[in-house]
Structure 1
Amino acid sequence: MSAASGRERLGAAFWRFWSVELATGTGVGLAIIALQTMLVEDLGGGAAEVGWLAAARWLPYVVLGLVAGALVEGWRRRTAMLASDLARAAILGALAAAWLLGGGALWALLLAALALGAASLVNDAASQAFVPRLVPRPLLLAAHQRLDLGANAAQSAGPAASGALIAWLGAPVSLLVAAAAHLASAVVLATMPVDEPVRTSRPPLWRSIGRGLRFVHRHPRLGPFARWTHAWFLCNGAAMTLLVPLVLTGLSAGPAGLGLALGALGAATLAGTALAEVVAGRAGEARTIVLSRVGSPLGWALVALPALAPMAPPAGLAVVVAGLVMAGVGMGLGNPSEMALRQRATPDAMQARMNATMRTANRGMFVVAAPIAGIAADALGLGPVLAVVVVGFALSAAGLARSPLARRRAR
């Protein structure tokens, strides 16, 4: 399909939204490396502190995720995204100013991460539920593939650019650039013409949350998919936490090396996303999802090697990058099919609650895994803990392959 025919099928409103997601992804990619570098290099944090930072970022998803999903159902989703972008720009700008003025401290990083997580929670609940209002359901796979292509491109370029920017001008400047990206997203949203319905009557909040939970976990296919996806997020939360000290201190690669590693992960995810529609067209969405999960244990086994068998830093970083490429291709391959399968199975009035239900448990796994993995790595070493994570990835892939999701072809 040509680029012109893709634009014609998905419509102008979708492509405006695509540009919003691109700007947001750029801001996230820039900010993540800056926050982690400030923690490790400016404050001397180790694996445990990196785990606490990750947990702070995702804690709002656990505490407020279900509430946010139920509330967003009654709001205009564009308004929720606009407010989130403005809030994230303000938080990042304030943290950068505090750091430049000499007010850098662990509590400030954790508080900023917590506030960023809360703002991102609102954005995620609204943005994922916004897509089915922009494109017809038969085009959801194509829409999510293109959204993922843009997001992965931003998140692959963002860490690499952030690493170079930090080395040149410092982490606070990277935060300011991330804030500008969120402001650009807000400008596009503010000028985006969308006619959104607002529900005039809603059930009580807790009843609405309960309906969302029952819908997901009693669904014959979404239920098993959700449970094995939660297991994958538990492993991924631990793995991504351990990657930071492995690259920054274990391999002495610095922020540029971490930016390179995360940039490679983003680029590989982008490559997998580019193949997603073709593979799903031949194998079906469900089998594509299962296939994508196999890349995680294989890729992270490579990442674990430099932690288990000492290597020279350049060789170790090359092995880590190769493993992240393998894992990233799998992630990119599966996500458009996952989103299309979830949203086709869900009525519009349940979209935000379905997304919030899935996301709350997924991010909850991250909140649990990140600090535990960091503490375990400080006590036992990075290598043994990464080996356990690889086994967990393998079990989650095998469980999904044997679940009802994989037993019939889904398009």
Structure 2
Amino acid sequence: MAGALRSAARSSFARFWTAAALSSFGSAVTTVAMPVLVVQVLAATPVQVGVVNAAQFVPYALLGLLAGAYTDRWRRRPILVWASIGRAATLGVIPVLWLSGVLQIWMLVTTLLLFGGCSVFGFAATQSLLPRLVPRKGLVVANARLDQTDAAAQTLGPAIGGGLVGLLGAPVAILVDAVSYLADAVLNASIRIREPQPDSPARSLRTEIRDGLRWTYRHRTLGPLAASTHVWFLANGAAMTTLSLLILRSLGWSGFAFGALLAVFGLATLAGASVAPRIGEWLGPGPVIILTRCAYPVAWLIVAIAQHGALGTALMFIALAIQGLTAGVENSNEVGYWQTQTPDGLLGRVNATRRSVNRTIGALGALLAGLAVGLIGVRLTLIGVVIVFAVAALTAALSPLRQARHLS
């Protein structure tokens, strides 16, 4: 009986893992196609680029806390399935509008708002379902495997995405992502897991949301970690908006070259995720998070000084390789730490709370970057990005997180 249960658990995680891989591959294609669609096809202004980048994250501010509470009230697998179906439908509208000749920036923003609404519930369910599929002591390894697969998709996906953009056009390439979410929904629907129906809570949603906020921000180590991560997302939202404008407009790279750059980022992330569990065991999750946070300002300082020519191109690839390697090492250790420090009954709320604030601040960073590029230019905006990344690192380094050397 025990062997059969272990076999069923492995099968369920394998389907969950495969579903995540397929959707990651599709998303990697969109990572190339969306900036090309916005910057080159629709000729968006810097402010419009910031608005588009922010659109899919705005629903986190509006729905994130509610999504977390309902994720703890409902079964998590059906939430994940329906969220993937919703994301497939919303992305599928974009090529239809473009082929009809009516696609405009405001339509794209509306579609991404709906996509973001589905993503709020989908991500809350994803990170909350995993601890029911994998023993807690294996969560860092499980998250590392997911990160490795995601990195592999980011390595191959942008290269193929750049080719698809050149062959079919950016809007049609986005259809690949829509199909990947449909496959994601089918696979997750087939997971064999008995999720108990949560009891109807006697407490109000307000009380449940407050419990999630308290655990997130009053915990000795999770509170400072959450604050550092929020600042990181502000910097990253600004960085990615500025990067697309720098690469595709200021430096004049092609969509294929942009895809190759993101492929290097994915390859470096894969390498980082491959060694993340070992480094986490060696140093502990807290020191790993702090050290990796210190690498981000270095990477973006290199981006800020990169110019035209062979040297500038080489520096850009080096910077994105540092960014990817750092992210690969950090992510599984950070997510595993959150999952092991949070009771199962609070996972939905805590995951949704921090993701809600992270994505909201990321959207703010994207908007601010769009405005800043228009006012002070790309280079000065990137210097601001470096400073904010440094603040995120300092927030973590000066906290009790440096003493967190074990998952338990």
Give the TM-score range, shorter chain. over 0.9
Report the equivalent of 1:360: 356
Q: Tell me, in whole angstroms, the C-alpha distance in 1 between the residues paired with 2:373 and 2:273.
A: 32
In the alignment, the residues of structure 2 paired with residue 408 and residue 254 of structure 1 have an alpha-carbon distance, to the nearest angstrom, of: 44
Partner Cα distance (2:404, 2:42) in 1: 51
Quote the residue 1:89 is aligned against. 88
User: Where do residues 218-229 of structure 1 align in structure 2 (5 Å cutoff)?
Assistant: 218-229=218-229
Indicate whether 1:373 and 2:369 are aligned.
yes
- Residue aligning to 1:31: 30
Q: Structure 2 vs 1, CA of residues 287 and 257 (structure 1 numbering), >3 Å: closer, same or farther?
A: same
Q: What's the TM-score once normalised by structure 1's chain length?
A: 0.94
Change (3 A) 1:8 1:330: farther
Alignment pair present for 1:404 and 2:400: yes
Read off the aligned partner of 1:400 and give its amino acid letter: A
Answer whether contact 1:268 1:328 (CA < 8 A) is retained. yes
Q: Does 1:192 align with 2:188?
A: no
- Distance (Å, rounded) in 1 between the aligned partners of 2:113 and 2:198: 30
CA distance in 1, matches of 2:213, 2:72: 14
Q: Which amino acid aligns with 1:303?
A: V
Distance in 2 between the 1:138 and 1:116 partners? 33
Q: Match of 1:391?
A: 387
Cα–Cα, structure 1 residues 46 and 268, in superposed 2: closer, same or farther, change >3 Å?
Answer: farther
Q: Which amino acid aligns with 2:91?
A: L
Q: Quick check: 1:304–1:387 contact (8 Å CA) kept in 2?
A: yes
Residue number in structure 2 paired with 1:180:
179
Report sequence identity in percent. Answer: 38
Task: Give the conservation status (yes or no) of the 8 Å contact 1:35–1:109.
Answer: no
Instruction: Name the structure 1 match of 2:261.
Output: 261
Which residue of structure 2 lines up, in the alignment, with residue 4 of structure 1?
A: none
Counterpart in the other structure of 2:336: 340
Would you say the 8 A contact 1:290–1:397 is kept in 2?
A: yes
Match of 2:15 in 1: 16
User: 1:311 aligns to what?
Assistant: 308
Q: Residue type of the partner of 2:218? A: R
Q: SS in structure 2 opposite 1:45?
A: coil
Deviation per CA, 1:340-387: give whole Å up to 9, x if none: 111111111100101011111111111111111111111111001101
> What aligned pairs does 1:45-64 form with structure 2 within 5 A after superposition?
45-64=44-63
SS at match of 1:186: helix
Q: Once the 2 structures are TM-superposed, how far is the Cα of residue 408 of structure 1 from its aligned partner?
A: 4.1
Give the superposition deviation at 1:256: 1.3
CA separation in 1, counterparts of 2:197 and 2:270?
35
Residue pair 1:39, 1:50 contacting (<8 A) in 2 also: yes
The residue that corresponds to 2:277 in the other structure is 277
Q: Distance in 2 between matches of 1:363 and 1:92?
A: 19
**CA positional deviation for 1:175:** 1.6
TM-score by length of 2: 0.95
Query: Which sits farther off after the overlay, 35-44 or 340-349?
Result: 35-44
**Retained in 2: the 8 A contact 1:10–1:143?**
no
The equivalent residue for 2:129 is 130
Name 1:232's counterpart in structure 2. Answer: 232
In the other structure, the counterpart of 1:106 is: 105
**Equivalent-residue separation in structure 1 for 2:353 and 2:41 (angstroms):** 37
Shift in alpha-carbon separation, 1:115–1:32, aligned structure 2, 3 A: farther
Cα pair distance change 1:151/1:375, threshold 3 Å: same
Counterpart Cα distance in 2 of 1:230 and 1:331: 15
Aligned equivalents of 1:61 and 1:266: distance in 2?
Answer: 25
For residues 48-77 of structure 1, give each alpha carbon's deviation from its aligned partner in whole angstroms, at most 9, with x where no partner exists.
221111110100011111111111111221
Write the letter of the residue equivalent to 1:241: T
Structure 2 CA distance for aligned equivalents of residues 168 and 365 of structure 1:
35
Structure 2 residue runs of 5 or longer lacking an equivalent are: 1-5
Q: For residue 88 of structure 1, what is the amino acid of its counterpart?
A: R
**Deviation digits for residues 66-109 of structure 1, max 9, x if unmatched?**
11111111122111111111111111222111101111111111
Q: Is the 8 A contact 2:224 2:395 kept in 1?
A: no
Query: 1:28 Cα shift?
Result: 1.6
Supply the AA of the counterpart residue of 1:48.
V
How far apart, CA to CA, are the structure 1 residues paired with 2:291 and 2:405?
13
Distance 1:15 1:215 in 2: 31
Tell me the residue number matched to 2:149. Answer: 150
Taking a change above 3 Å as real, the CA distance of residues 117 and 408 of structure 1, as seen in their structure-2 partners, is closer
Determine the structure 2 residue equivalent to 1:79: 78
Aligned to 2:117: 118
| Letter matched to residue 185 of structure 1 | D
**Aligned residue identity for 1:171:** A
2:160 counterpart of 1:161: yes
Whole-Å separation in 2 of the counterparts to 1:395 and 1:189: 39
